[in-house]
């Protein structure tokens, strides 16, 4: 009888550990959004040690246009907030200064689109474009990794 009780206790603890370590979370299927921000606003968020997803784009970049088309559909039922710094919307005289500011936090930022997750003001991850670009599958996996659409 003692062995049976001990075995039940071990099984219950194992089940509790497996359930507690699960990476599953409740996803929010409300619409998400892309919010355009300036480099100054980005820096303010970094200085405040906020956690956020950010993408650097350009208006005429074909890969950026494809990525934004994918986002249009994806964000309909994924409550993700993605901040977008559109590099070529700043005045030409300000762009070099903006790039210097960006590269303090994102030292490897040298192509668009460049998508990052910032955790508590520090660069946590760059989602690599790869040969196939920023696909919906790749983006969704990244969203789940950082629980960017977690129901609150």
pLDDT tens per residue, range 61-83: 999 999 999 999 999 999 999 99
pLDDT digits (tens, 9 = 90+) for 121-130: 999 999 988 7
Can you state the angle between helices 39-47 and 95-105, rounded to 10 degrees? 30
First CA to last CA distance, the chain: 45
In a domain, 101, yes or no: yes
The span from the CA of 147 to the CA of 145, in Å, is: 6
Inside any domain, residue 14: no
Q: Which CA distances in Å does 64 have to 30, 60, 116?
A: 24, 8, 14
* CATH code where residue 108 lies: 3.40.30.10
Q: What is the pLDDT along the chain (152 residues), one digit of tens a residue?
A: 555 455 445 555 444 444 444 458 999 999 999 999 999 999 999 999 999 999 999 999 999 999 999 999 999 999 999 999 999 999 999 999 999 999 999 998 999 999 999 999 999 999 988 778 789 999 999 999 999 999 98
Residue 151 lies in a domain: no
Examine residue 113 and say whether the peptide bond preceding it is cis (omega within 30 degrees of 0).
Answer: yes
Tokens of 92: 């030409």
Looking at the DSSP assignment, which residues form a beta bridge with residue 33? 81
Q: Give the pLDDT confidence score for residue 105 in this predicted structure.
A: 94
**What pLDDT is attached to residue 76?**
98
Tell me how many domains the chain contains. Answer: 1
* Three-state secondary-structure class, residue 10: helix
Return d(Cα 77, Cα 6) in angstroms, integer.
46
Cβ proximity of 78 and 150 under 8 Å = no
pLDDT of residue 1: 56
- pTM tops 0.95, yes or no: no
* Domain span including residue 112: 25-145
In the chain, count of helices (H) and strands (E)?
Answer: 5, 5
């Amino acid at each position: 009888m003692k062995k049976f009780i001990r075995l039940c206790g071990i099984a219950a603890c194992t089940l509790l550990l497996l359930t507690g370590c699960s990476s599953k979370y409740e996803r929010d299927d409300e619409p998400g959004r892309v919010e355009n921000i300036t480099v100054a606003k980005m820096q303010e968020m970094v200085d405040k040690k906020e956690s956020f997803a950010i993408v650097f784009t350009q208006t005429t970049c074909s890969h950026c246009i494809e990525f934004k088309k994918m986002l249009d559909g994806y964000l309909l039922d994924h409550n993700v907030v993605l901040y977008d710094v559109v590099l070529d919307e700043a005045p030409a005289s300000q762009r070099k200064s903006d790039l210097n500011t960006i590269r303090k936090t994102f030292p490897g930022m040298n192509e668009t689109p460049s998508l990052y997750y910032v955790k508590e003001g520090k660069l946590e991850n760059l989602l690599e474009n790869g040969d196939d670009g920023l696909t919906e599958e790749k983006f969704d996996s990244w969203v789940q990794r950082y629980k960017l659409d977690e129901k609150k």
